[in-house]
């Protein structure tokens, strides 16, 4: 499996190259956006790990060029910017997943493996849907069975995460880091409360139930599952 890592920070670049090589991948490292852009557009990789903040050609440009050229290489982007908007932008430009810096290498490796297993599924649609739940991404609106559901910004972000990872069990700490930019190692109650509230809006009065508790692990969104 060939991976391209585009990362201008010397230490991070070396660390990623070394770690991924040790994990058995063939890794090309581009230390600036121009080289990254060139490699991404001319060579075939199974996956690209793309830093967004690059001094010359930034990660968004690279991602945009790739998708405009209909190159569907899965892209995992790295962002230091702790904002939901930033992540939404990346996903709307056609990235497949993201990690917020700083991240644990083990988490990056797990994401890389998941994406490679999944193959290149473009996430460019303006609409995400599971059963009769629809998310209108540009308008940040959700409907179920055609009925509009009022969600706060956080609730929408939480629902988006669950939908994008449909069928996967998401731990509370993963949800906390992806939606709240925080580590809730101690206070996972926040997540439980948010999920309960979201669940009431999404599932009360509708069938099938979409949001499920996986005991001892976390939550998942699945149209075909039952609560354990």
Contacts with Ca ion by CB under 5 A lie at: 8, 51, 53
Question: Which stretch of DSSP H or E encloses residue 135?
Answer: strand 133-136
Q: Which is nearer to Ca ion, 99 or 133 (CB)?
A: 99
- Work out how close the CB of 53 gets to Ca ion at its nearest, in angstroms, rounded to a whole number: 4
Q: Which is nearer to Ca ion, 59 or 94 (CB)?
A: 59
| Gap between the terminal Cα atoms of the chain | 37
Q: Which of 63, 61, 64 is nearest to 76 (CA)?
A: 63
- Three-state secondary structure call for residue 14: helix
- Work out how close the CB of 218 gets to Ca ion at its nearest, in angstroms, rounded to a whole number: 31
- Work out how close the CB of 20 gets to Ca ion at its nearest, in angstroms, rounded to a whole number: 17
- Work out how close the CB of 35 gets to Ca ion at its nearest, in angstroms, rounded to a whole number: 14
- Work out how close the CB of 108 gets to Ca ion at its nearest, in angstroms, rounded to a whole number: 15
- Three-state secondary structure call for residue 220: strand
Q: Which is nearer to Ca ion, 53 or 88 (CB)?
A: 53
- Work out how close the CB of 124 gets to Ca ion at its nearest, in angstroms, rounded to a whole number: 25
Q: Which is nearer to Ca ion, 8 or 96 (CB)?
A: 8
CA distances from residue 39 to 32, 93, 116, 163 in whole angstroms, order as listed: 11, 19, 19, 32
The residue with tokens 């040790």 is 22
Phi, psi (degrees; rounded to nearest 5) at 152: -75, 170
- Work out how close the CB of 9 gets to Ca ion at its nearest, in angstroms, rounded to a whole number: 5
Q: Which is nearer to Ca ion, 4 or 149 (CB)?
A: 4
Q: Which of 95, 5, 10, 97 is nearest to 45 (CA)?
A: 5
Q: How many helices (H) and strands (E) in the chain?
A: 8, 12
Q: Which is nearer to Ca ion, 16 or 151 (CB)?
A: 16
- Plot region of 139 (φ>0 → left; ψ -120 to 50 → alpha; else → beta): alpha
Q: Which is nearer to Ca ion, 1 or 53 (CB)?
A: 53
Contact by Cβ (8 Å): 173, 185: yes
């Amino acid at each position: 499996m060939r991976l391209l890592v585009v990362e201008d920070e010397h230490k991070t670049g070396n660390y990623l190259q070394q770690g991924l090589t040790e994990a058995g991948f063939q890794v090309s490292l581009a230390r600036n956006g121009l080289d990254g852009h060139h490699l991404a557009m001319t060579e075939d990789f199974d996956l690209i790990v793309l830093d967004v903040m690059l001094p010359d050609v930034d990660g968004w440009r690279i991602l945009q060029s790739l998708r405009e050229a209909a190159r569907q290489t899965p892209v995992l982007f790295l962002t230091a910017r702790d904002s939901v908007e930033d992540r939404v932008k990346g996903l709307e430009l056609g990235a497949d997943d993201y990690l917020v810096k700083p991240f644990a290498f083990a988490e990056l490796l797990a994401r890389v493996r998941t994406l490679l297993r999944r193959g290149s599924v473009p996430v460019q649609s303006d609409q995400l849907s599971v059963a009769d739940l629809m998310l209108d991404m540009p308008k940040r609106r959700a409907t179920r069975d055609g009925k509009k559901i009022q969600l706060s910004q956080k609730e929408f972000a939480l629902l988006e995460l669950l939908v994008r990872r449909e069928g996967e069990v998401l731990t509370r700490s993963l949800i906390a880091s992806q939606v709240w930019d925080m580590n809730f190692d101690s206070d996972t109650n926040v997540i439980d409360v948010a999920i309960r509230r979201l669940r009431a809006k999404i599932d009360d009065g509708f069938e099938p139930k979409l949001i499920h508790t996986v005991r001892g692990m976390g939550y998942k969104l699945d149209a075909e599952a039952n609560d354990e």
